[in-house]
Amino acid sequence: MPRVFLSLGSNIDARRHLAAALDALAARFGHLALSPVYESPAVGFAGDNFLNLVVGIDTGLAVGALARELRAIEEANQRQRGAAKFCSRTLDIDILTYGDCRGVIDGVQLPRDEILRYAFVLRPLADLAPDARHPDRHKSYRELASELGFPDQPLWPVAFCWPAAAP
């Protein structure tokens, strides 16, 4: 089964929606590998700060089937479709990587280009899987985070307690 990395974000009742998403992902996929949670200002619009993290799962689902499962989790958390690309949201779940897959698969671009564009995606990915390699760039996420740095994109770690992760 391929290792899949997902980006989760929210800026509307974020702690509740992220916890609900993690519960749903754990119920469907079992063990979740979690990055630290980061807070960052909204990008591309004026809005409340976002909370973001990256989750690692193992799944045998095809990319399209996985995308449908993630969309259902978003919709169960009142995600509004058809809104502007840059807007507040209850929950956003994106497939960042699916093993070493590259290109458009089942309508999903892999790896997701946001990995190389946004600190709130790359930093938690580098925390979770520092030695894993970007499928196109062939550099580790640790190396990419160091190189890109994103000095104009502030973010900071925040405490986040997901009950299912507690010992």
85: domain CATH number?
3.30.70.560
The residue range of the domain holding 91 is 3-165
Of 99, 110, 80, give the one whose Cα is nearest residue 10.
80
Pick from 156, 159, 126, 157: nearest CA to 144:
126
- In this prediction, residue 135 carries a pLDDT of 96
CB atoms within 10 A of CB 73: 21
Query: Which residues contact residue 110 at a Cβ distance below 8 angstroms, ignoring those fewer than 6 apart?
Result: 63, 95, 97, 98, 101, 102, 103, 104, 135
- Average of per-residue pLDDT values in the chain: 91
Kindly tell me the sign of the dihedral angle through the C-alpha atoms of 118, 102, 89, 45.
positive
Cα–Cα distance, 164 to 63 (Å, whole number)? 26
- Match 């519960």 to its residue by tokens: 23
User: Is pLDDT at 72 greater than 80 in this prediction?
Assistant: yes
Whole-prediction pTM value? 0.93
Interval 20-66: pLDDT, tens: 999 999 999 999 999 999 999 988 767 899 999 999 999 999 999 99
Structure tokens at 14: 């974020």
Q: Quick one: pLDDT at residue 84? A: 53
**What is the rounded radius of gyration, in angstroms, for the C-alpha atoms of the chain?**
15
Query: What's the number of domains the chain is made of?
Result: 1
Spatial contact of 12 and 48, defined as CB atoms under 8 Å apart: yes
For the stretch 106-124, pLDDT in tens is 999 999 999 999 999 999 9
CB neighbour class for 21 (10 Å; exposed up to 12, middle 13-18, buried from 19): buried
Residue with tokens 């290792």: 3
Reference 111, options 96, 92, 121, 99; nearest CA is 96
